[in-house]
Structure 1
Amino acid sequence: MAREGARELNDPPPDYNPRWGGGSRTERFTSSVGQWLGVVDRNEGGWDQVGTMPRSSRSGYYELTGNPSDSEGEVTERQSRARRTLRYVRGKLSRQQQREEAMSTLPTFRPWFTVLISVVTIGLFIAVCITDGIAPISFTPKQHYGLVEDFNGQQVPVTREDTANFFIGPSGSDLIHHGAKFSPCMRSDSRLDLAIQQCKNEEILYKCCQSTNDYCGMMPSDRCSNDSIVGGLTACENPPSGRCQNGISIRPCCLGSTGQCVLTTRQNCSFYDGVWHGDKLLCHHTILDCLRGVCELTWSSSTFSGSNPNQWYRLIIAVFMYNGVIQLVILLAIQLYFCYKIERRIGWLRIFLIYMISGVGGYLTSCIFDPDTVGTGPCGALYGLLGVQLVELVQSWKYINHPFLELIKLLINVIVLLVIGLLPYIDNFANIGGFVFGVLSSFIFVPYISIGKWDRITKLCLISIALPTIVILYLFGFIVFFNIQDGDFCSWCHYLNCIPITDNFCDGFDLSSFYQQSPS
């Protein structure tokens, strides 16, 4: 028999009734939904009044009340719908309550890794600045003017442009000497062999010429008068009697900031802050020495092999380096914020693994898409932490207050770092690669609250997909970088790393000119 005053399905549910007494939030809300649907509990003593049911009876058998005019079939259908709704609400609230209780029991870790990584990177940056000093602070190269003697002993004006660093930090060549990402120092490059061969083909036509002050040197024949040509290469190596009495004044010079080789005088080479090779005559004999001068590490006693570069560990060292005070302040603030939050939840070991997998994977991505650009900073690792935040946000979407607001805040951080990545020395390809590896790593290392069998199955599936994907991506990246070496497949990719706001804004940061040897 239907009770008088039963509620319709489209009526709004009532607020919590304090007369229900104790019980869990799930039980109280279930009873509220039961009152809204017109459900009463049938016990051995008959029908209880809704709102005054004893706690022991709230999990019993519920029956839907209806209007006196309802047929038996309509009442049965309403009962079935009500029971399904109650089971759904009770199950959903129970899972949420279990998840909240599980979250409240998770341990809180001390941020040891966050403190250590911050101290190490700050100390490393200070050491580099003390050792090599600060580059000119400007958006354009700083110009120096001077007078040097040319081949014939005459004073000629020359201009040198020093690469600036508006981040307030060391120069690009100094960063390379301390371990910045720079692929020519990390692998044997087929383009280097091509550059040597091209240089050799040009220098075959060079002649040994004598200056007016009886100096000699190898140079293009069109720069020598007929009476000043002594002969070919052997004539400069062993000058005939009465020729080149003052010696050889034109020899290879490796320009310190780019590694490019030019044929010039010792005085001119010194003005350009280069390395003059007094034991060689031509550049194609010197290119490997120029590469050695660029890649040798200040803090390492091992000799760099120009013919077999193998400094793969730059993928790791570059993660801990900063190119200037501005980058240090910005990225360190972002790192402290995200690292601290995440490490407090997952501990130092998990965040260390995520940080390194993302940072190294990011620079490996950069080496493939833009191999000749100098890269420093933990941008890839920080993007990996943003990937962790995104995964946690998606997984906990239903249990977070204002999830869209959290998503907007996360996207703002992503956009800010991408904009910063358009500046010199900061690598957007490392950002993108680090984000991908961070998302995959979070599925493996970030604890996941499992409520029930399906949650555990989901977690195991994600791990079984993410772990082999990371391994495959690393293997594929190393194979492409070290063996395939197709650095020209993306001719416009460098614009994602540095946009030339001014004519010289990106000069000196992209060292692709190293392979374009132009003896002069």
Structure 2
Amino acid sequence: MQRQISAPPATAQGENVRQTSTLKKIGRSVKHSVADFFGLGDELPDQNSRWQNRRYRYYGGKIKDGKLPRVTDFDELDSSIPHIYDPLRVHGKHSMASQRTTPLSSTSTYRSIRGFPQRRTRKDSVLKMTFKGLQTITSTRKKLRQKPDIHSRSYAPASLAGDVSEIDFADSYAAMPHEDQFSLVDDVFYDEPVFPAAEKMLETLHEEAIAPSGAATSGSGDSGLPKARWKWPEPGMDEVDLPGFARMERIRAKILNSAQERDRRQYGMGFVGRLFNRSYRSDRMDSYVKKQLDEMDDHRPFFTYWVTFVQIVCFIVSVAVYRIAPIGSSETVYTEFIKKPNLAYEMTRYVETDNLWIGPRQADLIHLGAKYSPCMRPDREIIKGLNFDRAEEKESACCIRDDGSGCFQAVSKKCSKTLNTWDKWNATNTGPGKRTSGTVCGQDPRYCKNPSSVAPFEWEDNINKWPLCKETSKPNATIQTDRHMSCEISGRPCCHGIQGECMITTREHCNFVRGYYHEEAFLCSQVSCMKDICGMIPFSEQNTPDQFYRLWTSLFLHGGLFHLIITIGFQILIMRDMEKLTGAIRMAIIYMGSGIAGNLASCIFVPYQVDVGPAGAQFGILACLFVEVLQSFQMLKKPGLAVLKITIPILVLFLLGLLPWIDNWAHTCGFIFGILIAFAILPYVSFGQWDRRRKIIGIVISLGGCILLFVLLVLLFYVVPLYSCPGCQYFDCIPFTENFCKNMEININRESTYSNV
């Protein structure tokens, strides 16, 4: 009974032990993964074996200084690599089975006789096999016509016995394998078909070519030809011993060619390193450094291809939907006779900023997700301008044409007293509930059913705070006192520009200035113009901008075709090459982190500038190139010159940022963030334990710097925003002439625009 009672706690204890063990395993796995990500993980035995096998499988890509590994070096191959049985090997009393040969000698071009099925480890295409067959036939016939070279024999000519025809055949046959022994490197158990008259000759040649001690007696240094027989492997037959493999000239050339064609990204070199003609120091390339270089992964640039594809698609969609803005470097002025709310046709002027890059307009780029601070946070200057408009609208009233042709909301100076009546409530002519703010064309508290003005939800005596009436009852046509409710409205709210401007006008005029016409509203205070101008996902609150995601959506947009071409060229040539070293995850962190940091800095110092493109992200990639040179400083021959060569182009790009249409603040902050994050997560090579500790400390400091910089930028943008910086625009564009930076100027300190119709 006591054992039965104590059993459940033991079971529960076992479950707790298993859960604890599982949590420990997960914790160790996470710890090792994080350490490996930052290059701080310890090398495990299975990883060492994996890298050793990988090095032998891809040894063609590890050739240093153009030298092929010596044949004797292959004796150190890992035991996990299986040996190949050679059925054509000669066995017997004077067999050379005890000699060890290289794994490379396991490949042969001899084909089987006696009907052994031919099977290859890889299957080529029909076209490739046809080409190889024709090439083999052509080379064999050409060799048969030529006189055999005596130095290429693997036997002494004096040892031949027989008639002349047999000797000629033997010479020709001996030359055939030498010419074509590497044409099909995957065939192992096959031999060339042997004529009956020559089969005995081959056996004689083999017997005379091998000394009793098992060593070759030929002066040429090669072993004798193998016996052209199929034989099952005997115990202990785990190696290949074929003649003609000592020099390995052809396989050497093939390996060198394959090493050049693989385009493996070398640490400290890459596209920019080859462009600037860098070179390594041979005295620093010891086994410890070479092992680290060999163990670096050569990644595929998946992120580069993905982000480039998305950017191209976004540009095509933006041009297809919004079309191209006027091309130029100044402004384009449009003039046209437009019907106004007073039903008169007036000459109207509209000015639009040109686009040098051949792309969409500024307002369209904002609608697509460009970097624009007023759409990302409540902006003090924008709110001030909107308050000016609402103060003017509060004093407006319904302007009614005397001939009954229509009415529109306007201030006193915009309503002519000759043919119109400005129906304004005042102290002597009060509205319902003794209101003095109004009237409003088409809306009145007495006639609105939804929402109705009843206690305790009575409408205020301020038309700016009136709700939008969704259901209205019309007054009696015989009553002439409420003409503002029975007239036909000829003007509605129209949101235009990029600063939230609103005016009461006709649809024709609104379309002319490329605005957003609100047929359902009566007043500008009843619509959110910033919501219309910003587009994308609506604000959580109607008049509170909160589109912070523009920090990264702008990275996928471009100002025009030229801008896109520059981005594609940079990413294919430089970013793709760098991603081969870093991998997709690290590259995504560097690209997105530098881009977001650069956009944050641009939002802080030039908040009313519309910017698109991955400028900050691209300078983060340039920072990686700079950090890579610093990290490989000890292994480069001329490190000072390498740093100078990478610094000068970056400085030139910063100087170009002083021109219009280029955001230098995004460049600068993206570069700084890129340096910090590159020191933290970029793969590195250490030159000893002290150097490794120094770089580990650098990783910790760099991560702290990244976090500190990002927090500081967020605080300056959202918590304690910097709305005005008088001299900051000069870092973005220097006005060499009066109109040089005109496209960069945005006058945000505006007065009311409500009456500018």
Deviation at 1:96, TM superposition (A): 5.4
* Cα distance, 1:252–1:420 mapped onto 2, change above 3 Å: farther
Deviation at 1:242, TM superposition (A): 7.6
* Cα distance, 1:465–1:316 mapped onto 2, change above 3 Å: same
Deviation at 1:352, TM superposition (A): 1.9
Q: Which amino acid aligns with 2:530?
A: L
State how far apart, in whole Å, the 1-side matches of 2:400 and 2:741 are: 39
State how far apart, in whole Å, the 1-side matches of 2:604 and 2:357 are: 26
Deviates more, 1:226-235 or 1:440-449: 226-235
Aligned to 2:214: none
Deviation at 1:479, TM superposition (A): 2.3
Deviates more, 1:333-342 or 1:185-194: 185-194
Aligned to 2:422: 229
Deviation at 1:408, TM superposition (A): 4.2
Q: Which amino acid aligns with 2:399?
A: C
CA RMSD in angstroms comes to 3.1
Q: Which amino acid aligns with 1:97?
A: D
Aligned to 2:551: 315
**Contact 2:371–2:550 at 8 Å: present in 1 too?**
yes
SS of 1:241's partner is coil
Deviates more, 1:146-155 or 1:399-408: 399-408
Deviation at 1:207, TM superposition (A): 4.2
State how far apart, in whole Å, the 2-side matches of 1:304 and 1:424 are: 35
Q: 406, 411, 424: which is aligned to 1:220? A: 411
* Cα distance, 1:338–1:416 mapped onto 2, change above 3 Å: same
Deviation at 1:131, TM superposition (A): 2.3
Q: Which amino acid aligns with 2:714?
A: F
Q: Which amino acid aligns with 1:241?
A: T
Count of paired positions: 423
SS of 1:234's partner is coil
Matches within 5 A, 1:285-364: 285-286=526-527, 289-297=528-536, 305-364=541-600
State how far apart, in whole Å, the 2-side matches of 1:385 and 1:486 are: 28
2:318 matches 1:128: yes
* Cα distance, 1:348–1:275 mapped onto 2, change above 3 Å: closer
* Cα distance, 1:499–1:167 mapped onto 2, change above 3 Å: farther
**Contact 2:386–2:500 at 8 Å: present in 1 too?**
no
Matches within 5 A, 1:392-431: 392-422=628-658, 426-431=662-667
Aligned to 1:266: 507
1:403-427, Cα deviation, whole Å (9 max, x unpaired): 4543344234324433554455542
State how far apart, in whole Å, the 2-side matches of 1:213 and 1:495 are: 56
**Contact 1:153–1:213 at 8 Å: present in 2 too?**
no
SS of 2:438's partner is helix
Aligned to 2:682: 446
SS of 1:254's partner is strand
Deviation at 1:433, TM superposition (A): 0.9
**Contact 1:292–1:306 at 8 Å: present in 2 too?**
yes
Q: Which amino acid aligns with 2:407?
A: C
**Contact 1:258–1:514 at 8 Å: present in 2 too?**
no
**Contact 2:315–2:557 at 8 Å: present in 1 too?**
yes
State how far apart, in whole Å, the 1-side matches of 2:401 and 2:736 are: 44
SS of 1:376's partner is coil
2:517 matches 1:276: yes
Aligned to 1:497: 732
Deviation at 1:284, TM superposition (A): 3.8
* Cα distance, 1:372–1:198 mapped onto 2, change above 3 Å: same
Aligned to 2:340: 150
Aligned to 1:247: 488
Aligned to 1:33: none
1:130-154, Cα deviation, whole Å (9 max, x unpaired): 2222222122333322112334433
State how far apart, in whole Å, the 2-side matches of 1:113 and 1:211 are: 64
* Cα distance, 1:402–1:198 mapped onto 2, change above 3 Å: same
Deviates more, 1:256-265 or 1:136-145: 256-265
* Cα distance, 1:129–1:409 mapped onto 2, change above 3 Å: farther
Deviates more, 1:509-518 or 1:379-388: 509-518
1:85-117, Cα deviation, whole Å (9 max, x unpaired): xxxxxxx98655357524642332222222222
**Contact 1:102–1:449 at 8 Å: present in 2 too?**
no
Aligned to 1:169: 359
2:610 matches 1:374: yes
Aligned to 1:113: 303
**Contact 1:145–1:159 at 8 Å: present in 2 too?**
yes
State how far apart, in whole Å, the 2-side matches of 1:469 and 1:359 are: 16
**Contact 1:429–1:497 at 8 Å: present in 2 too?**
yes
State how far apart, in whole Å, the 1-side matches of 2:308 and 2:341 are: 52
* Cα distance, 1:515–1:399 mapped onto 2, change above 3 Å: farther
SS of 2:370's partner is coil
SS of 1:249's partner is coil
State how far apart, in whole Å, the 1-side matches of 2:557 and 2:439 are: 49
Q: How many percent of aligned residue pairs carry the same amino acid?
A: 34
**Contact 2:374–2:545 at 8 Å: present in 1 too?**
yes
**Contact 1:141–1:504 at 8 Å: present in 2 too?**
no
SS of 1:157's partner is strand
More helix by share: 1
Q: Which amino acid aligns with 1:264?
A: T
State how far apart, in whole Å, the 1-side matches of 2:750 and 2:714 are: 22
SS of 2:490's partner is strand
Q: Which has the higher contact order (CA 8 A, sep 6+)?
A: 1
* Cα distance, 1:283–1:451 mapped onto 2, change above 3 Å: same
Aligned to 1:75: none
- When normalised by structure 1's length, the TM-score is 0.72
Matches within 5 A, 1:37-186: 97=286, 100-102=289-291, 104-105=293-294, 106-186=296-376
SS of 2:494's partner is strand
* Cα distance, 1:349–1:157 mapped onto 2, change above 3 Å: same
State how far apart, in whole Å, the 2-side matches of 1:334 and 1:130 are: 25
Higher Rg: 2
**Contact 1:173–1:258 at 8 Å: present in 2 too?**
no
* Cα distance, 1:518–1:117 mapped onto 2, change above 3 Å: same
**Contact 2:376–2:547 at 8 Å: present in 1 too?**
yes
